Structure 1
Amino acid sequence: MTVALLVGGLLLLAALGVPLVFAIMASSIVTILVTRPGLPLEVVAQTFVGGIDSSVLLAILFFFLAGELMNCSGITRRIVEFSATLVGHIRGGLGQVNVLSSLLFSGISGSAIADTAAVGTVMIPAMKERGYSAGFAAALTQTSSIVGPIIPPSVPMIIYAILAEQSVGELFVAGIVPGFCIAAALMFTVYIISRKRGYERAEKRAGISEITSGGARASAALMMPIIIVGGILGGVMTATEAGAVAVLYAVVIGLFVYRELTPKLIWHSMLRAAKGASTVLVILGASSLFAWLVADQQINKAVAEVVLSISTEPVMVLVLITLVGLLVGMLMDPLAALIILVPVFLPVTAEVGIDPVHFGLVIVLTLMIGLCTPPVGYLIYLSAIIAKTRPEVVVRESMPFILCLVIVLGLCLFFPQLSLTLPEMFGYRG
């Protein structure tokens, strides 16, 4: 009964086109009225506010703002130019540049959507001019952008850290190796497809002087991830403080080094960052009410019993959770899905001995793949608009790249050390 009201109501409202936040809130309130009729509705507001009452969440706003400021400063262009000197000579050159640019930009934005918008507006038109199909360019851009929430800084990792009461810094570090694995797999796939379709190399091999000069032009931008991750790993800054420092650094670089940042651009960056952060926080607040009901009605215990009745082997449990995550990620906003699924499945993983950091990396990557898959797939529509092509063309061209993402997900699932080795090296584990 409770599951039908809560989950069924949410899915029905979402299918009818009700905005996700209102769908979550409505299904939660109806469930409270039916299952807990004497409960004062003030608990709705209290739980909503309590879900976003955390200083750690300020890091989300800071990282959004830092990414916006760096993008307005011409950072994307410099990263693309530097990437071209490194990999532009490889078969499928502009495709390789696309992937490497996304990898480097992900260390600034922490958002797949921001990565697609920033890199896509530069790379997709350039790839089309060089003879790449619009669908291929859009498909590669959207799938390579998935590395954004995996490489630190990462907005989903911050949210998971709060939900699971884990170290933000440890989760940031856990995503580094899987992020590079995603980039390597995508670049290999670009090479294979480019040979088959006859896509030529974009550039001649750059010399040492060209690489050095390109690196020098992009060096100020590439220092931001070092400041963020280095500050957290060194114990000098918390994630929130690192975000604030990143904003200050972005302003200084934009005003005095690149000299492309203006007061008007700063103002518009603040507005876009506020809009992006508020969207995340509203979803987080609404989903906190949903998660509270899951615990209150002991839905998580019921789910645990079902999962453990199938298998108690840690790997099989994680496989089952991943399959559910892939399905949910296709139908729901990844951040909302993260907030809803973690309270349900985290106790299950704890019971069978799955490391919470390993689980965090796997569930975040699982849900991020949903950004590239229909029917919701925000990145499909965003990249299609930039490429001026149909979404179904982007979906068709994305299949080899999504297969790459699923393979890397499988490797992370079956080989925990891909995500746990660096945290051990940096002393997060005893």
Structure 2
Amino acid sequence: MSAAVVAGFMGLSLLGLPIAFAMGVAALLALLATGVDLSMVPQRMMHAVNSFPLMSIPFFMLAGELMIKAGIVERLIALANTMVGRVRGGLAHVTMLSGAGLATVSGAAVSDASALSSILVPSLSKVYDKGFATAIVAAAANLGPIIPPSGAMIVYAFMAGSSVSVGGMFMAGVVPGIIITIGFIALCSWIATKRGWAVTGDPFRLKAVFAELRRSLIVLAMPVLVIGGIVGGAFTATEGSAIAVIYAALLGFFVTRTLKLSDLPGIVVRAAITSAMVGALIAFASVITYLMTVDLLPQKLTVLLKAITDSPLMYMALVAILLFVVGMFLESNAAYIMLVPLLHPIAIQYGIDPLHFGFLFVLNLVIGMLTPPVGVVLFVVCGITGVRMRELVANVWPFIALMYGVLVACMLFPPLVTALPRALGY
């Protein structure tokens, strides 16, 4: 019965219905078919979203919108430009460093893709062909959910329960996030050299770097304060997200002075829409999760997988293949909410480190945001730049391949993911 619910939800999603609506219809049909008391639906939905940790999602969404409107992207680009210097593929390097910097304040790929596309694609298109320019921006934006703070990791930690903490998930993404950023920069250099593109940028000057660092110090202090406070135990992720909102607002109003009171309604509405979608997904998914539990689906799936393999590595490989397919067709938040309660407990039974499995799960679905036909970052970038999807996909696949390479490396060498969180006591 629960398998039919999942299949029905995916089928409705593929028909083009909104994800939350499709999940709600699938849950309702399953309840009607099984004769379960419908009065339990609102109770379970309310219980699912009545959570203090979940409040961090709208706050981080709001903080990201405020930081982008406050002109943070321009400052990060200026800092990255001085750090890169005059090299082949220099503007691409600036984009990657800007994406990594923006990831430390936003935590979401979609908002990063919107900001970077609007600001950088016109300049990138003067140096590279437009397909490659948009691919660079899409790859840089995809660093958002990997480098902390990450909305995806918050959702995963909530769905996984007490075995995973938000702070631990944040720290698990630091080293792989740095590796992916460096890998993207190296890949851009190789492609620029292979295609014979011109050297760009101003000569490297240490004085200019220090000047931009001083100018951007108040911006860079925000992720240090928020993430450091969460990891150090000074406050919870929800309290840290509220501090991020206040910090971003003060920065925009009194430091950069690009944020105006007239901007606030639009910022709040955009953050509210995204947060409401995630909340609706979690509420409807709680009903489906209940049906799965009643149907003993996790236990049945565990028995099936144990019959196939006893190897934890093989289990992670099977999950990676599953998520590769799911990521191409399903929006990532829906995938977290549907699959984490199912696959995370099985990983623990296999003896897999919960943080290790959690990060691999998130990274796999983050890559899915770049893979057609339902790569949400691809659609955002195409919508803003006017580039055809075919042209963007033809240029973005090397970045996808590199991210999958890092995924495999993290799977084979768990300390890449777990060493930093364990050193900090997670």
CA–CA distance in structure 2, aligned partners of residues 172 and 399 of structure 1: 27
Task: State the match for 1:80 in structure 2.
Answer: 77
Task: State the match for 2:136 in structure 1.
Answer: 140
Q: Is the 8 A contact 1:93 1:200 kept in 2?
A: no
**Cα distance, 1:139 vs. partner?**
1.3
Measured against aligned partners, the alpha-carbon deviations of 1:136-171 in whole angstroms (never above 9, x if no partner) come to: 111121122221111111111111111122211111
Q: 1:238 aligns with which of 216, 236, 239?
A: 236
Q: Is the 8 A contact 2:2 2:291 kept in 1?
A: no
Task: State the match for 2:268 in structure 1.
Answer: 270
Q: 2:354 aligns with which of 353, 356, 359?
A: 356
Q: 1:181 aligns with which of 168, 179, 182?
A: 179
Question: What's the % identity of the aligned pairs?
Answer: 36
1:105-254 equivalences under 5 Å are: 105-130=102-127, 132-165=128-161, 166-254=164-252
Task: State the match for 1:331 in structure 2.
Answer: 329
Task: State the match for 1:6 in structure 2.
Answer: 5
Q: Is the 8 A contact 2:2 2:292 kept in 1?
A: no
Task: State the match for 2:315 in structure 1.
Answer: 317
Pairing 1:44–2:41 present:
yes
**Cα distance, 1:124 vs. partner?**
1.0
SS in 1 for 2:86: coil
Pairing 1:97–2:88 present:
no
Letter aligned with residue 15 of structure 1: L
SS in 1 for 2:233: coil
Alpha carbons of structure 1 residues 143 and 290: separation in structure 2 relative to 1, 3 Å: farther
Task: State the match for 1:405 in structure 2.
Answer: 403
CA–CA distance in structure 2, aligned partners of residues 217 and 67 of structure 1: 20
Q: Is the 8 A contact 1:119 1:141 kept in 2?
A: yes
**Cα distance, 1:102 vs. partner?**
0.5
Q: Is the 8 A contact 2:85 2:201 kept in 1?
A: yes
Task: State the match for 1:285 in structure 2.
Answer: 283
SS in 2 for 1:47: helix
CA–CA distance in structure 1, aligned partners of residues 96 and 383 of structure 2: 19
CA–CA distance in structure 1, aligned partners of residues 2 and 263 of structure 2: 49
Measured against aligned partners, the alpha-carbon deviations of 1:268-318 in whole angstroms (never above 9, x if no partner) come to: 222221122112111221222222222221122222222222211111111
Letter aligned with residue 130 of structure 2: A
CA–CA distance in structure 1, aligned partners of residues 271 and 21 of structure 2: 22
Measured against aligned partners, the alpha-carbon deviations of 1:222-280 in whole angstroms (never above 9, x if no partner) come to: 11110111111221111011111111111111111111111112332222211221121
Measured against aligned partners, the alpha-carbon deviations of 1:36-74 in whole angstroms (never above 9, x if no partner) come to: x1x211222222222211111111111111111111111
CA–CA distance in structure 1, aligned partners of residues 324 and 129 of structure 2: 28
Q: Is the 8 A contact 1:135 1:387 kept in 2?
A: no
CA–CA distance in structure 2, aligned partners of residues 415 and 120 of structure 1: 34
**Cα distance, 1:88 vs. partner?**
4.3
Pairing 1:33–2:32 present:
yes
CA–CA distance in structure 1, aligned partners of residues 381 and 146 of structure 2: 20
Once structures 1 and 2 are overlaid, which stretch shifts more, 102-111 or 69-78?
69-78
Alpha carbons of structure 1 residues 205 and 306: separation in structure 2 relative to 1, 3 Å: farther
Q: Which runs of 4+ in 1 moved over 3 A?
A: none
SS in 2 for 1:159: helix
CA–CA distance in structure 1, aligned partners of residues 389 and 283 of structure 2: 31
Q: Is the 8 A contact 1:80 1:98 kept in 2?
A: yes
Consecutive unaligned residues in structure 2, runs of 5 or more: none
Q: Is the 8 A contact 1:85 1:210 kept in 2?
A: yes
Pairing 1:57–2:61 present:
no
SS in 1 for 2:88: coil
TM-score between the two structures when normalised by the length of structure 2: 0.97
**Cα distance, 1:29 vs. partner?**
1.6
**Cα distance, 1:2 vs. partner?**
4.3
CA–CA distance in structure 2, aligned partners of residues 16 and 425 of structure 1: 46
CA–CA distance in structure 1, aligned partners of residues 29 and 251 of structure 2: 50
Letter aligned with residue 359 of structure 1: F
Letter aligned with residue 20 of structure 1: I
CA–CA distance in structure 1, aligned partners of residues 140 and 202 of structure 2: 24
RMSD of Structure 2 on Structure 1 (CA): 1.3
Once structures 1 and 2 are overlaid, which stretch shifts more, 267-276 or 386-395?
267-276
**Cα distance, 1:209 vs. partner?**
1.4
CA–CA distance in structure 1, aligned partners of residues 178 and 59 of structure 2: 24
Q: Is the 8 A contact 2:2 2:288 kept in 1?
A: no
TM-score between the two structures when normalised by the length of structure 1: 0.96
Q: Is the 8 A contact 1:280 1:335 kept in 2?
A: yes
Q: Is the 8 A contact 2:323 2:365 kept in 1?
A: yes
CA–CA distance in structure 2, aligned partners of residues 161 and 11 of structure 1: 23
SS in 1 for 2:221: helix
SS in 2 for 1:375: coil
Measured against aligned partners, the alpha-carbon deviations of 1:381-423 in whole angstroms (never above 9, x if no partner) come to: 1111222210111111111110001001111111111111111
